[in-house]
Structure 1
């Protein structure tokens, strides 16, 4: 594997855990719409990283696509409102590691989330000066491999890698023709990776040593 010129990071399960806040955004929306449903952390945890349309089919199977996506849009608006105060748990070593890595690499965040969530995470983590660019599923409704290519073309990246925490991340990364770097402390499991790190400090140390 060649030395990378850039690192593209997944967000949820890779840089932070905001599942409790995400669950609250669903439950506040259900309450507002008088839907008798409560989503717990464990239920949502198994769905993290999923594209919006797939997610709504699982969580709202009895609703037609338009109605389900309308609720999903409501949830994301609620989420944008509560993240600045509820936030999430940034994983140990992430804020410091990103600041170090940005001195040596172009850094990006690419997530299957709604528009506006990544900037709120970046602000919460205090890494606004360290991230070159970001792209979310909500920007164009396209899968991760497509959005990886957008970042590659836009920034003329030569040897990027994608860092994520799920089998889906691995599959999308390989579809984009990139090396997949797995962090094992997140939400998923996979054996399909080029490198594996069990904490963010180890990842930082490795890439700073290249």
Structure 2
């Protein structure tokens, strides 16, 4: 594997854990709409990383696609409202690691989240100025492999890698034709990776030493 010129990061399960805030955003919308349903952390853990349209089918199988997607959009709006104060838990070493890595690499964030969530995360993490660019599923409703290629083409990346925490991330990265780097502390499991790191400090140390 060649030395990378850029690192593209997944967000949820890779850089932070905001699942409790995400669950709260669902429940606040359900309450407002008088839907007798409660979404717990474990419910969301099963769908973390999924594209929005797939996620709604799992969480709201009894609703038609349009109704479910309407609720999903309301949830995303609620999420944008509460994230600045509720935030999430940064994984150990991420904030300082990103600042170090940015001295050596172009850094990107690519997530299957709604539009507007990544900038809120960047502010919460205090890493404004360290991320070259980002792209979210909500910007174009396209899968990760498509958005990886968009970033690669836009920024003329020569040897990027994608860093994520699920088997879905691995599959999408393969489809984009770039190496997948797995972080094992996140939400998923996979055996399909070029490199694996058990904590962000190890990842930072490795890439800073190249």
| SS state at 1:161 partner | strand
Identify the residue that residue 17 of structure 2 maps to in structure 1: 17
Identify the residue that residue 78 of structure 2 maps to in structure 1: 78
| SS state at 2:108 partner | strand
Q: Distance in 2 between matches of 1:65 and 1:47?
A: 17
Q: Distance in 1 between matches of 2:137 and 2:33?
A: 25
Aligned-residue CA RMSD (Å): 0.3
TM-score, length basis structure 2: 1.00
Q: Distance in 2 between matches of 1:74 and 1:32?
A: 10
Identify the residue that residue 54 of structure 1 maps to in structure 2: 54
Identify the residue that residue 38 of structure 2 maps to in structure 1: 38
**1:131-146 paired onto structure 2 within 5 Å:** 131-146=131-146
Identify the residue that residue 188 of structure 1 maps to in structure 2: 188
In structure 1, runs of 5+ residues without a counterpart are none
| SS state at 2:82 partner | helix
Displacement of 1:46 after TM fit?
A: 1.3
Identify the residue that residue 158 of structure 1 maps to in structure 2: 158
Deviations 1:108-155 (A, max 9, x none): 000000000000000000001100000000000000000000000000
| SS state at 2:107 partner | strand
Moved over 6 A (4+): none
Deviations 1:47-106 (A, max 9, x none): 100000000001111111111100000000000000000000010000000000000000
| SS state at 1:163 partner | strand
Q: Distance in 1 between matches of 2:74 and 2:154?
A: 31
Identify the residue that residue 199 of structure 2 maps to in structure 1: 199
Q: Distance in 1 between matches of 2:43 and 2:139?
A: 26
Identify the residue that residue 69 of structure 1 maps to in structure 2: 69
TM-score, length basis structure 1: 1.00
Deviations 1:5-34 (A, max 9, x none): 000000000000000000000000000000
Displacement of 1:43 after TM fit?
A: 1.1
Q: Report the count of equivalent residues.
A: 210
Identify the residue that residue 120 of structure 1 maps to in structure 2: 120
In structure 2, runs of 5+ residues without a counterpart are none
Identify the residue that residue 110 of structure 1 maps to in structure 2: 110
Q: Distance in 2 between matches of 1:59 and 1:183?
A: 26
